[in-house]
Amino acid sequence: MKKSLVVLLALAVALGLVLGGCQKQAKEVKIGIIAPISGEAATFGESTANGAKLYFDQVNAAGGVEGMKIVYFVEDDKGNPTEGANAYSKLIDQNKVSAIVGTVMSKVSLAGAPIAQNKGVPMISPTSTNPAVTLVGNYIFRACFIDPFQGFVAAKFAYNDLGKKTAAVIYDSGNDYTKGLAEVFRDEFTKMGGKITAFESYTAGTSDFNAQLVKIKATNPDVLFIPNYYNDAGLIAKQAREMGIKAIFLGGDGWDSPDLFKIGGKAIEGGFFVNHFSKDSQVPAAKKFVADYKAKYNKDPDALAALAYEAAMIVVDAIKRAKSADPKAIRDAMEKTNLETLTGVVKFDQNRNPVKGAVILECKNGQAVYKASVNP
Amino acid sequence: METFLSQLIFGLQRGTIYALIALGYTMVYGVVRLINFAYGEVFMIGAFISFFLVNAVSLPQPILVVLALLVPMVTCSLLGLAMDALAYRPLRQKPRLAALITAIGVSFFLSNFVSYSSGETVRSSAIAAFLLAGILLLYVLGVKYLNFPVKASPNFKPMKFVIPIVSLVLVGYLFWSARDLLVELRWKGSSFASYPVDRLITVEKIPLYKSVYITNIQIMNFLVSVILMVVLSYLVNRTMTGMAMRASKNNKDAVALMGVNVNRVISITFIIGTALAGAAGVLSAITYPRLTAFMGVQPGLKAFIAAVLGGIGSIEGAMLGGIIMGVAEQFAIGLLPSSYGPSRIDFTPLADGVAYAILIVVLLLRPQGIFGEPPREKL
């Protein structure tokens, strides 16, 4: 009698646990966020995590999505492909996330994408601009334009808007992002009728760019294209100005960080870079985002924060339309995205790249200010 | 011509820093026959310490620049002392390979320690730096007053461990609880990616020939290195300690029999070597104002090659080797064709290989290096 009571009790408890578990699962949807919160691009990681968290918190405050509360997990990839791959595996295997927002750097996304693809969990990189990233498979999306477009915009701006006919390029030969951008710029600029006077590379980790810059100086270019992250770009600009290179500096979205001005100082003033978003945008949704972000984090959002916010919007929108936390259903819904975001309506092309325009920002008095818009 | 001269000056700038680290390698190797692979990391830590100092203290430029150089040198030499006592001394009588592998371990430990603690913010690494400084201080005090574990047996007393460990935990707790106070005030907004050079020295260019120029930072680097090298030569060739060092180089056992404390001589060697690496770290941070936890890896390796090139164990050799390495590398990047050409092949990454190519050639043609003594047959 007593024994059966114990068994009954145990069964009841077990059933309760299972049911409770089910119920809990039905009420929440788990989403992973991956960003380089430490390492060479730390400000990128911080902005990205902040942007995504802001949107998820707003959705939760408004009652969640389809009756489900969003639970998010943030992982640091340190800007390192190995760490990045570990972060993807951890989020998928341990935390059982339904979708991933991440990650920032193309080389790290390229390491994580095959994992997400194999395990069948959709990921959307807010800012990886290298075309190869989404070509990994149909579970991989992005929220930003791709490098060929960015390189084209930079070349067009240099040739048409600035009216410059000669340009030199310095890039990191070991980084898919900067190399890709450098090559596109070279080809597009030459096609438009400009002349590339020098095309110099360096290996990652060096802080001494003088040897390359002396070579560049000898060719006396009008424009120096530096498609690197803010860290290297600031240092290169400084060393270039110090040795008397007078060219106008031009960069890609990797420049978008307040640290660019800390590192580059006076040298970076008057430089231009291609970007996804300007905090001076007049679109109502963007204005609200800038205000909300500032209220929560007490600083202006950069493009990374905006793109992470957009990526989060795209994921939540897909969950809403899928009415489920099932990764496959979310992926299928994501493919059919047609959503008004901060920078316009986002639709995906057949390679899951959004079709959207770019802005050019100018470095002025320690700030990146809006200069021009370029549409595809 | 202009390009050539500019490259030469920048090459010398590179070489000076290699030379300073190479001196550390060569001195320790000369005396202990140990290649201390952790010098690159001491170099890095020197740069970090001066970063904190310069951000924390407001003083006129000339005073601060001297302090920014001296404080890391002293701290690094304490680190060198601790490194020797903790990692290498217990292995002194063991096969040399054991000490070599330990050296690689120390190197990895230091760089990853800094990498981990400098990861998120300047703030967390300030805490780590204070902890590390606390540990070092306690260790040195322990060695001095408690005869703390240089060799555990035969009269091993547990109390000797307990007191330092307890005080360590206490000091750690103190720093931990005071962390907001320590950090928040000063270092808000500073970034490891930009060493505050402006607080030390205002960059000025002195024109040499047409557009070729030399900066006051480069001159300072040359001067500091030359002064340190001269002091070092004097120390090694003209003082009793130096004599003991040179004697230990030849035969440690005989020196010990003459009543010289060989361990003390070795400790002094470590102190000098690490102080030089620390100075090199500071000079490097001023010249290339960016700090990372792994900034010492490449210069460390190249300085090692420089030491081999000059003849490991020889001070003049290390100086010359470092300069040769720096200039060779600079010209390699300057002369190798970049990918903008008909071939579209990028040769610049090969420049890093030049250092290793030089190493191979030297080892084949003159294994003892430029100034090295050929190995003598012992009968």
Which residues are within 8 A (CB) of B69 and not within 5 positions of it... i.e. 6 or more apart?
B50, B224, B279, B282, B283
Strands A358-364 and A367-374: antiparallel
Per-chain mean pLDDT for chain A: 86
Q: Which of A207, A255, A259, A268 to mutate to test the interface with B (most CBs of B within 10 A)?
A: A207
- Looking at beta carbons, which residues of chain B come within 8 Å of A244? 211, 213
- Counting one residue from chain A and one from chain B, the pairs whose CB atoms sit within 8 A come to 104
Helix axes B297-310, B39-56, angle to 10 degrees: 130
Q: Tell me: cis bond preceding B154? Omega within 30 of 0 counts.
A: yes
Q: How confident is the model at residue B297 (pLDDT cuts 50, 70, 90)?
A: confident
Record: contact A234-B194, CB cut-off 8 A:
yes
Nearest Cα of chain A lies from the Cα of B339 at a distance, in angstroms, of 6
Q: What confidence score (pLDDT) does residue B204 get? A: 84
Distance from C-alpha of B379 to C-alpha of B365, rounded to nearest angstrom: 26
Question: Which of B321, B195, B6 shows the shortest CA–CA distance to A262?
Answer: B195
What are A's interface residues with B at a Cβ cutoff of 8 A?
37-40, 42, 76, 78, 169, 173-174, 186, 196, 198-203, 205-208, 210-212, 214-215, 217-218, 231, 234-235, 238, 242-244, 259, 262-263, 265
Cross-strand bridge partners of residue B335 = none
Q: What confidence score (pLDDT) does residue A332 get? A: 92
Record: contact B290-A235, CB cut-off 8 A:
yes
Range with the poorest average pLDDT among A75-84, A223-232, A356-365, B344-353: B344-353
Nearest Cα of chain A lies from the Cα of B187 at a distance, in angstroms, of 14
Distance from C-alpha of A126 to C-alpha of A141, rounded to nearest angstrom: 9
Range with the poorest average pLDDT among A178-187, B154-163, B203-212, B230-239: B154-163
Helix (H, G, I), strand (E, B) or coil at A224: strand
Query: How many Cα neighbours within 13 Å face the side chain of A87?
Result: 31
Strands A166-172 and A195-202: parallel
Q: Tell me: cis bond preceding A103? Omega within 30 of 0 counts.
A: yes
Its sign, for the CA torsion B269, B275, B281, B283, is negative
Q: What confidence score (pLDDT) does residue A86 get? A: 92
In angstroms, the Cα distances linking A25 to B90, B208, B235 are 57, 73, 73
Question: Which of A294, A295, A300 shows the shortest CA–CA distance to A261?
Answer: A300
What's the N-to-C CA distance of chain A in angstroms? 78
Q: Give the residue, B109 or A329, on which the prediction is more confident.
A: A329
Rg for chain B, CA atoms, rounded: 22
Q: Does B292 touch chain A (CB under 8 A)?
A: yes
Q: Does B251 touch chain A (CB under 8 A)?
A: no
Distance from C-alpha of A109 to C-alpha of A80, rounded to nearest angstrom: 10
Q: Which of B348, B350, B354, B356 to mutate to test the interface with A (most CBs of A within 10 A)?
A: B348
The b-or-e profile of A85-98 (16+ CB within 10 A means b, else e) is: bbbbeebbeeeebb
The answer to whether the beta carbons of residues B89 and B235 sit under 8 Å apart is no
Record: contact A259-B191, CB cut-off 8 A:
yes
- Looking at beta carbons, which residues of chain A come within 8 Å of B189? 262
Token couple for B273: 């070597």
Per-chain mean pLDDT for chain B: 79
Percentages helix, strand, coil for chain A (3-state, rounded to 5) are 50, 20, 30
Closest residue on chain A to B294 (Cα): A205
Record: contact A263-B194, CB cut-off 8 A:
yes
Distance from C-alpha of B213 to C-alpha of B143, rounded to nearest angstrom: 50
Asked if the model's pLDDT at residue A242 lies above 90, the reply is: no
Write the residue in A37, A199, A243 that is nearest to B120 by C-beta.
A37
Q: Give the residue, B178 or B335, on which the prediction is more confident.
A: B335
Q: What confidence score (pLDDT) does residue B78 get? A: 83
Asked if the model's pLDDT at residue B346 lies above 70, the reply is: yes
Q: Mean pLDDT over residues A328-357, rounded? A: 87
pLDDT digits (tens, 9 = 90+) for B63-94: 888 999 998 998 888 888 888 877 788 787 77
Distance from C-alpha of B271 to C-alpha of B79, rounded to nearest angstrom: 8
- What DSSP line would sit under A307-375, residue for residue? HHHHHHHHHHHHHHHHTS--HHHHHHHHHT--EEETTEEE-B-TTS-B---EEEEEEETTEEEEEEEE-
Indicate the burial class of B291 (C-beta count within 10 angstroms; 0-12, 13-18, 19 or more).
buried
Strands A123-125 and A99-101: parallel
Q: Tell me which residue has tokens 């975001």.
A: A341
Phi/psi of residue A347, nearest 5 degrees: -130, 150
Phi/psi of residue A218, nearest 5 degrees: -65, -25
Distance from C-alpha of B278 to C-alpha of B248, rounded to nearest angstrom: 25
Q: What confidence score (pLDDT) does residue B100 get? A: 83
Q: Tell me which residue has tokens 């959503």.
A: A339
Q: Report B:56-95 residues touching A (Cβ under 8 A).
A: none
pLDDT digits (tens, 9 = 90+) for B153-210: 445 555 556 656 666 666 666 556 555 544 544 455 567 777 888 888 888 888 887 7
Query: How much of chain A, in percent, has pLDDT values that exceed 70?
Result: 93
- What DSSP line would sit under A119-161, residue for residue? HT--EEESS---GGGGGG-TTEEESS--HHHHHHHHHHIIIII
Instruction: Kindly list the structural domains of chain A, giving each domain's residue range(s) and its CATH number in brackets, ordered by start.
Output: 28-145+282-357 (3.40.50.2300), 148-275 (3.40.50.2300)
Record: contact B330-A210, CB cut-off 8 A:
yes
Q: Does B13 touch chain A (CB under 8 A)?
A: yes
Q: How many CB atoms lie within 10 A of CB B112?
A: 13
The answer to whether the beta carbons of residues A54 and A61 sit under 8 Å apart is no
Closest residue on chain B to A77 (Cα): B119
Distance from C-alpha of A207 to C-alpha of A230, rounded to nearest angstrom: 13
The answer to whether the beta carbons of residues B353 and B333 sit under 8 Å apart is no
Q: Mean pLDDT over residues A82-108, rounded? A: 91
Distance from C-alpha of B197 to C-alpha of B115, rounded to nearest angstrom: 22
Q: Does B191 touch chain A (CB under 8 A)?
A: yes
- Looking at beta carbons, which residues of chain B come within 8 Å of A40? 292
Q: Does B112 touch chain A (CB under 8 A)?
A: no
Record: contact B10-A210, CB cut-off 8 A:
yes
Record: contact A38-B119, CB cut-off 8 A:
yes
Domain boundaries, chain B: 25-118+192-295
- Looking at beta carbons, which residues of chain A come within 8 Å of B289? 235, 238, 263
Phi/psi of residue B354, nearest 5 degrees: -55, -40
Q: Which of B5, B194, B201, B343 to mutate to test the interface with A (most CBs of A within 10 A)?
A: B194
Record: contact A214-B334, CB cut-off 8 A:
yes
Which residues are within 8 A (CB) of A351 and not within 5 positions of it... i.e. 6 or more apart?
A131, A134, A135
In angstroms, the Cα distances linking B207 to B5, B202, B211, B271 are 12, 16, 7, 38
Q: Mean pLDDT over residues B240-257, rounded? A: 85
Helix axes B350-365, B315-335, angle to 10 degrees: 140
Asked if the model's pLDDT at residue A110 lies above 80, the reply is: yes
Nearest Cα of chain A lies from the Cα of B7 at a distance, in angstroms, of 6
Q: How confident is the model at residue B104 (pLDDT cuts 50, 70, 90)?
A: confident
Distance from C-alpha of B349 to C-alpha of B337, rounded to nearest angstrom: 11
* ipTM at complex level: 0.76
Q: Does B202 touch chain A (CB under 8 A)?
A: no
Q: Does B196 touch chain A (CB under 8 A)?
A: no
Q: Report B:313-372 residues touching A (Cβ under 8 A).
A: 329-331, 333-334, 338-340, 346, 348-349, 351-352
- Looking at beta carbons, which residues of chain B come within 8 Å of A38? 119-120
Asked if the model's pLDDT at residue A267 lies above 80, the reply is: yes
Nearest Cα of chain A lies from the Cα of B333 at a distance, in angstroms, of 6
- Looking at beta carbons, which residues of chain B come within 8 Å of A199? 338-340
Q: Does B2 touch chain A (CB under 8 A)?
A: yes
Distance from C-alpha of B299 to C-alpha of B280, rounded to nearest angstrom: 10
Give me the sheet containing A140-142, strands edge to edge.
Answer: A69-76, A28-35, A99-101, A123-125, A140-142
Distance from C-alpha of B95 to C-alpha of A65, rounded to nearest angstrom: 66
In angstroms, the Cα distances linking A230 to A39, A237, A266, B116 are 13, 10, 14, 22
In angstroms, the Cα distances linking A289 to A59, A302, A308, B253 are 13, 11, 12, 75
Token couple for B291: 């700090």
Record: contact A201-B349, CB cut-off 8 A:
yes
Its sign, for the CA torsion B190, B192, B198, B201, is positive
pLDDT digits (tens, 9 = 90+) for B109-166: 888 777 766 654 455 555 666 666 666 666 666 655 555 555 444 455 555 566 566 6
pLDDT digits (tens, 9 = 90+) for A131-156: 889 999 999 999 988 888 889 999 99
Q: How confident is the model at residue A24 (pLDDT cuts 50, 70, 90)?
A: very low
Indicate the burial class of B322 (C-beta count within 10 angstroms; 0-12, 13-18, 19 or more).
buried
Question: Which of B32, B5, B51, B43 shows the shortest CA–CA distance to B303?
Answer: B43
